[in-house]
Amino acid sequence: MKGIGLFLIVLFLISCQDIEKTERPANLIPENKMVEVLTELSLLNSAKNYNKRFLEETGFKPDEFLLKKYNIDSLQLAESTRYYARNYAQFEGMYKKVQRNLEALKGDLEITQRREEQIKDSIMELQRENDSIVIDSTIFRSITRDSLIRNMPPPRAKEVEN
Give the rounded percent of residues in the chain with a pLDDT score beyond 90: 41
Q: What is the pLDDT of residues 37-60, one digit of tens each?
A: 999 999 998 888 888 888 888 888
Identify which of 97, 80, 101, 69 has the alpha carbon closest to the alpha carbon of residue 30: 80
Domain extents in the chain = 24-102
> Residue 127: what pLDDT?
81
10 Å CB burial of residue 7 (0-12, 13-18, 19+) is exposed
pLDDT at 156 over 70: no
Q: Model pTM?
A: 0.62
The predicted pLDDT at position 14 comes to 62
**For residues 108 and 59, is the Cβ–Cβ distance under 8 A?**
no
What average pLDDT does range 11-39 have in this prediction? 79
Predicted confidence at residue 87, as pLDDT, reads 87
More reliable by pLDDT, 141 or 115: 115
Give the pLDDT band of residue 68 (cuts 50, 70, 90).
very high
pLDDT at 47 (0 to 100): 85
* DSSP reduced 3-state for 157: coil
pLDDT of residue 30: 94
Q: Report the pLDDT value the prediction gives residue 147, as an integer from 0 to 100.
A: 56
Residue with the larger pLDDT of the pair 47 and 13: 47
- Mean pLDDT value across residues 3-22: 61
Q: Could you give the maximum distance between any two Cα atoms of the chain, in Å?
A: 139
Say which amino acid occupies 147.
Answer: S
Q: Is the pLDDT of residue 92 over 80?
A: yes
Dump pLDDT digits (tens) for 127-149: 877 765 555 555 555 555 555 55
